[in-house]
A and B are shown apart, each in its own frame.
Chain A
Amino acid sequence: MCKLKEIEEYIERARLGFVEAVRLRKYEDTIVLYIPKGKVGASVTAGNTSERQIEVLRRELAERFSYDVEVILTRSDEDAELEAGFFRILNRRFNNRLESLQSSFSVDGFVNSWIEAPSISHKERGDVEDVLSDLLCSASLKMGEVHWLGEFGELPSALAIVRAIKIMQPVAVKELAVGLRRSYGGVSEQWLSRTLDKLRKKGVVCWQAKGGYALPAKTLTITPAGAQRSSSDIERALALGRRKW
């Protein structure tokens, strides 16, 4: 108990008011500092700290008291309640079609959101974001990023295509389209053909008269070494398009 008092006094003397609580995890010889996330910003201001200052404090405490120091960032009840409120209001507006909403509140007033709403189409997302933006505004907050969950997106990224080619190569457009469509509903052969053509012109994929598309050595440097045939969508695609050797 003496040690904990000493540490608390040290923190008080150093005017580190942003530290919410201090605890000693005796069995591990660790000091645990609880700092509200809302007080951590890019730089040190009145009442607020920065990641760098926290790191300095950590090292100082560790040296002075010969304990490990762990910093836990806490979330305020107020933030949790605001998030719950936004969720309820959005669900009233959109007929309970949001399955979940997570929000992270940064010290500069920006709020990032994670929304799970599979029944809301891409077109309607703009409407949801508009309402959320208004809500945040009313709470004197600003809308940051909005991450829509659980979606594969309609079309694969160039990197996702490259990975699929690596697994299936050499692969014809038709077979590749089938494989990609298991995860990306918007893939048509025409779209894929055009996309592959662009990639071929950039030299990141190559085309063999016998077999179709494949990856040149330089592209293989960015594909993960373990790209396996164990990916279930690929397995199904392979099963569908059995090669006739």
Chain B
Amino acid sequence: MKTVGEKLESWALAQKDPREQDVFGRSAFNRYYYAVFLLVREMLVEFEPDRRKTQHASLPEYLKDTMRTRLKKKLEKSRKMGLITHGYESRLIEKYSDSAANLSELLKLANDARKTADYEPEVYIAKSGNVISLGQHKLGSAKTWPGRASAYCKTIRSVWRDAGFV
């Protein structure tokens, strides 16, 4: 997905006709968002193999609030049973919160770009030198989304392993 995004981005840059730039540029934003979305969904399926639909809109809150609460509950119980120390409990929660909050923000940001690209044709792709942007979003930043999402997902996975969820 990320490779497709990069290809579309290079095509958008190469186009002289602004309409072609617009088409390629928007698709690139869309692909970069989906690269992130699929990474997150893949991670969630490991955690909940029975998970059916993953709603785009509710995903950020799910990561930041729902999952965090589940983690806290389990760790608190485990600490009370003497399985882990208070320090270990706080470190894991901190690690999770940090990564989940950042991932959640990234999803919201990327989803906003995708919605503009897909559903708001009246907002045009703008090109200034080598910088392609759509509304508040720059395509150069969008390129970094999958890498960032991957880092946060790996950290979240390791918290789940240490917490005995997976």
Contact = CB atoms under 8 A, between A and B. Distances in A.
Interface of A: 20-21, 23, 25-28, 32, 34, 37, 70, 72-75, 80, 100, 102, 104, 112, 114, 116, 145, 147, 149-153, 157-160, 162-163, 183, 199, 202-204, 218-219, 221-224, 226, 228, 230-231
User: What's the interface size class on B, roughly?
Assistant: 35 or more
Nearest to A202: B82
Given A162-B83, A204-B81, A222-B77, A34 B164 contact: no
A3 to B, nearest CB: 15
A151 B157 CA distance: 10
B136 A159 contact: no
Contact of B98 (A145, A158, A202): A145
A25 B141 contact: no
Given A102-B151, A149-B155, 20 more contacts: A20-B136, A25-B116, A26-B120, A37-B105, A73-B108, A73-B109, A74-B136, A75-B109, A102-B148, A114-B99, A114-B151, A152-B158, A157-B163, A158-B84, A162-B164, A183-B161, A202-B81, A204-B81, A204-B82, A222-B83
Given A102-B147, A159-B84, A147 B99 contact: yes
Given A157-B84, A159-B163, A75 B154 contact: no
A150 B165 CA distance: 17
Interface string B63-97: 00000000000100110011110001000001100
